[in-house]
Amino acid sequence: MQPASKAPELLNTRALAHFVDPLPIPMVAKPVGMRPSASNPESQVPYYRIVMRQFQAKVHRDMQPTTFWGYNASCPGPTIETRGDQPIFVEWVNELPRKHFLPIDHTLHGAEADKPEVRTVVHLHGGRTAPESDGYPEDWFVSGQSATCYYPNGQEAASLFYHDHAMGITRLNAVAGLMGLYLIRDEFEDRLNLPKGDFELPLVLFDRSFHLDGQIYYPVSGKPDTPWVSEYYGSAILVNGKIFPYHEVEPRRYRLRFLNSSNGSFYRLSFSPEATVSSEALVFSQIGSEQGFLSESAQGTLLILGPGERADLIVDFSSHAGKEVFLRTDVTVVMQFRVSSGKNTDPSSLPTILRPISRIPERSAVRTRELTLADYQNRLGRSSVMLLNGAHWDMPVTEKPVLNSTEIWSFINLTDDSHPIHLHMVRFQLLDRRPFDLSVYQLTGKMVFTGPAESLLPSELGWMDTVRVDPMTITRIIVKFENFAGRYVWHCHMLEHEDNEMMRPFIISAQ
């Protein structure tokens, strides 16, 4: 890693007054009309038009307004709510300025100086989307243009999210604010009688650092021509766009839909009765992970959420009437829940049995791919580039699973970091994580395990689309490549890594 250049004086976000701003709830997007469906022209489906704009927002009462880029001029953008098998169109319109306000590195692949500075393409993360609507990183468009995507939503109820994916500048477009939630609902979910309406809260977490004037700070390397830095960690965690917000709740169950849309931060989240990072961690129930419901609700006190990951939680405030509950990590308090006093009738249920999930048998896999995650010098001699299986973005496609076949992908992490690895379009199951001896592997290429496979948490037994791949560990997932044939991408969801070659195309071949 290269040394970051001397940082300017930044706003001390830790010193900001706590719990003075109410938690904003993103608007729910409204369709602007109906259009004939792409799959069945006889039927009409909702048509949304969402415009990316520059805007200003106050992230804290005591700060100057911050410039953001957002979908419909908000960050998070409007929440799109739809139902499984209810297809929609979204016209994504770019009305952003033509100059970027964050430091572009023109030596990164796809961000060369002859490319327009401001380019966008929208990906629906977790969506079963045909390749032409999936937001391929090179399918970007510029200010004044738009792209219309068709989302069939042929999948189970889940928390997805949409965000920018433009080649070589995804990390900057994300830091600027281009992200939003996308909730798919279905009848199975309706029957569970979960808390809904005001009792279902989207919680979109991301971290940012700020200049003294309230503008977003993004660090640069010491070298003016290659400003890319390997990771972005902000000093403050924002929830739905506010620092240290509060939310008034009733003493009853709430459903909390978490998304970590940070560029690089993993969060270790707990709920506590006091506003300190060491106070008691209260028990919550996790009912869903990225691709929908778990088979059984899982009780826990710690939620680990990497970049791109989601979690669906039920938190019961009924025994905290008249008190406060805090969401915290192990380094900072994040937000406050003010629980009203008095009795509350809670008609919702907390089912223990959720959607059945059959584990994909290992023997159904037609092949296992061993794929390394490793640090290299890049072709420009840059100090650090991280590659997937030693390959750059523009090298020939090597992962070409056959449509409807099942494979095991075995991620061998040779770096010192955890990486959240995401595959587009498919859902998968985590098989196991097993530690190995990195130095023996590096010297001899031999795989020597240093222990048995770690047992998985109940919350890791659900359907995923992003998986945490820990250092010196082999993480195996099992994937059925169903739904659509065509070209997609898989990548690390630490966006600085993704932008610097830690992303590869894969092709699902029809035969």
The residue to which tokens 């399918």 are assigned: 139
Residue 419 binding result from Cu ion, ligand C2O, none, given CB thresholds of 5 to 8 Å by partner type: Cu ion
Decide if residue 494 touches Cu ion (CB under 5 A).
Answer: yes
Between 296 and 501, CB nearer to ligand C2O: 501
Token duo for residue 366: 């037609």
Residue 100 binding result from Cu ion, ligand C2O, none, given CB thresholds of 5 to 8 Å by partner type: none
Q: 259 - beta bridge partners? A: 204, 310
Choice from 35, 125, 255, 504 touching ligand C2O (CB under 6 A): 125
Half-sphere exposure of 291 (CA within 13 A, CB side): 24
Report, in Å, the least distance between residue 491 CB and ligand C2O.
6
Between 208 and 497, CB nearer to Cu ion: 497
Decide if residue 163 touches ligand C2O (CB under 6 A).
Answer: yes
Decide if residue 165 touches ligand C2O (CB under 6 A).
Answer: yes
Decide if residue 422 touches ligand C2O (CB under 6 A).
Answer: yes
Phi, psi of 497, deg, nearest 5? -70, -45
* Residue 361 · residue 345 · CB < 8 Å: no
Between 238 and 495, CB nearer to Cu ion: 495
* Residue 111 · residue 138 · CB < 8 Å: no
Between 176 and 365, CB nearer to ligand C2O: 176
Decide if residue 497 touches Cu ion (CB under 5 A).
Answer: yes
DSSP structure class, residue 106: T
Between 184 and 438, CB nearer to ligand C2O: 184
| Burial profile 85-104: b = 16 or more Cβ within 10 angstroms, e = fewer | ebbbbbebbbebeeebbbeb
How far is 295 from 354, CA to CA, in rounded Å?
A: 5
Choice from 424, 427, 468, 497 touching ligand C2O (CB under 6 A): 424
Residue 422 binding result from Cu ion, ligand C2O, none, given CB thresholds of 5 to 8 Å by partner type: ligand C2O
* Residue 459 · residue 294 · CB < 8 Å: yes
DSSP 448-461: -BSSPPBPPPGGGS
Decide if residue 467 touches Cu ion (CB under 5 A).
Answer: no
DSSP structure class, residue 140: -
Phi, psi of 146, deg, nearest 5? -145, 165
Decide if residue 385 touches Cu ion (CB under 5 A).
Answer: no
Token duo for residue 304: 């680990």
Decide if residue 100 touches ligand C2O (CB under 6 A).
Answer: no
Between 45 and 494, CB nearer to Cu ion: 494
Of 81, 88, 87, the closest CA to residue 49 belongs to 88
Residue 123 binding result from ligand C2O, Cu ion, none, given CB thresholds of 5 to 8 Å by partner type: ligand C2O
Between 467 and 489, CB nearer to ligand C2O: 489
How far is 129 from 87, CA to CA, in rounded Å?
A: 10
Q: Which stretch binds ligand C2O (CB under 6 A): 20-28, 76-84, 398-406, 486-494?
A: 486-494
* Residue 394 · residue 109 · CB < 8 Å: yes
**Which residues, 394 to 433, sit near Cu ion by CB under 5 A?**
419
Q: Which residues bind Cu ion (CB under 5 A)?
A: 419, 492, 494, 497
Q: Which residues bind ligand C2O (CB under 6 A)?
A: 123, 125, 163, 165, 308, 422, 424, 489, 491, 493
